[in-house]
Structure 1
């Protein structure tokens, strides 16, 4: 299955020089060339494992991430990595899709589906997942896994989704098993919590400034801004608590703010027939103004 890859793109990152005045002169502009590549079995194992560990957060230890990376790399003509220093460098971002039905006998997929089922049983908003994963279901679910380092610009996301659409189209022409009835996107969100360090030092906490959605536990914020658009086109979406508990995690993740950060798992289910229009909406939302 032939495929085009490696388009180059320019993106601009903004860096605050840490001056408190807030004027335009305080922002330095850094131009970075990003390149999109096919997953490389000989190069990307450790980089993808690092990104998966970030995606699953404290629950990463519940899964055989090495086996999951091997599965991703077993389909190198599907999915993308984003790099800044050529094909032999480590990926800063990736996106791929796995056929949960096709790989249902693999232990890491069994573990993942069991994990998601356990979350759906305790969160009413996710209850429909149990029907999709039942033995009697004819659904072909594509699990989308995507993650990027926190300082990567969101503008790299639309090309990865557009390439995925193109790659799935080519795969279907070759009669490969990617005719998905549903796409399940695994992501993560966070809520702000009072910092224990601030409480100990009697320091005032900074007010929230980011935009998010409301939940029972307070305002929810997105690690991936595209999730806001994906949810608008979704059949269902919802957050869930991680299985593992890490009491120190809220303060360890607060690099850019005074409040503590409590991450949560997040899933979004999209009808396969609406996936293309959803990808277009993501592109419009994240396109540079």
Structure 2
């Protein structure tokens, strides 16, 4: 069974002067290279894989896709899926909350208030839905929140306390993290990225491109200098879920091949991890089919 997505014809590009907050992996060249690798891997694979056709990324606040076949399912078993990018809206509350249900493991906190912050920030942030879906289910969310701007919100205070407690499990990490979350908070963006695992991977470069484009535009277009400065991120912090292979020999874990002991729930998080200036891991309490940990990643903006 294959899923097919076709993008709409490009709309007029939004004016912009320069890009300021792009991690190097998400440059236009790197995204094009990533898409080329996906195409090449499919051509050389003998197993059936999802087939998606996506045009050049559109630099606009919303992205949409369109079907080239009005039939919901063609005779060869291809399911037509029309994914679209939207600015977050209040009616997305329940879908976004569902995606973020285990964002802080099983810790009790005001998740509803956290979702409200995300939905209120419409200039930066994207949700992915299927066009015309009456249920309006959310397949993916990506946004970036300035930790200093929202420092007085209880949900952000709880989130920082949660991370600092986890950081104490590794020597010297808590002090380093506290510096980032407090004294340097003006320059730190919490990159929130949650998605359904069956979201077509070909959408991911466009999804992150949309985020970093919007961050760049916000540094120029927000109505006040304070708001413009709040998007001039020097660091991004990311919470990522991973699986650790506990049966790997301890000596191998200490070798240069230790990365082989990590399985990333979202493959794109491996890119973030390799680009990060530092990171730390901590075990999760949520019941899983296999040992499950979270990785806290610090990504330096270029």
Identify the TM-score tier after normalising by the shorter chain.
0.5 to 0.7
Q: Which of 1 and 2 has higher RCO (CA within 8 Å, sep 6+)?
A: 2
Aligned to 1:80: 126
What is the TM-score of this pair, normalised by structure 2? 0.65
Q: Give the drift of 1:192.
A: 5.0
Q: Distance in 1 between matches of 2:100 and 2:298?
A: 20
Shift of 1:87: 7.7
Aligned residues: 220
8 Å contact from structure 1 (residues 48, 94) kept in 2 = yes
1:262 partnered with 2:281: no
Conservation of the 8 A alpha-carbon contact between 1:237 and 1:266? yes
Shift in Å at residue 271 of structure 1? 1.3
Residue 4 of structure 1 and its aligned partner are, at CA, apart by: 3.3
How far does residue 126 in structure 1 lie from its aligned partner after superposition? 4.2
- Tell me if 1:190 matches 2:243: yes
For 1:203-235, what per-residue CA distance to the aligned partner results, in whole angstroms no more than 9, with x for missing partners?
A: xxxxxxxxxx737xx922111101111112111
Q: What secondary structure sits across from 1:112 in the alignment? A: helix
Given that 2:64 and 2:84 are in contact with CA atoms closer than 8 Å, whether structure 1 keeps it comes out as yes
Report whether the alignment pairs 1:222 with 2:267. Answer: no
Unmatched 5+ residue regions in structure 1? 11-26, 195-212, 252-260, 275-289
User: TM-score under structure 1 normalisation?
Assistant: 0.68
Could you say which residue in structure 1 is the equivalent of 2:22? none
Take 2:85 and 2:172, find their aligned partners in 1: how far apart are those partners?
Answer: 35
SS of 1:122 mapped into structure 2: coil
Separation in 1, partners of 2:185, 2:264: 32
- Greater strand share, 1 or 2? 1
Q: Which residue of 2 aligns with 1:71?
A: 117
CA contact (8 A) 2:197 2:266 kept: no
In the TM superposition, what whole-angstrom CA distance separates every residue of 1:24-81 from its partner, at most 9, and x where no partner exists? xxx965442211111011x20000000001433433xx22110000010111121101
Which residue of structure 1 aligns with residue 93 of structure 2? 45
Change in CA separation of 1:9 and 1:113 when aligned onto 2, cut-off 3 Å? farther
Say whether the 8 Å CA contact 1:37–1:87 is kept in structure 2: no
Q: Which of 277, 283, 288 in structure 2 is aligned with 1:250?
A: 288
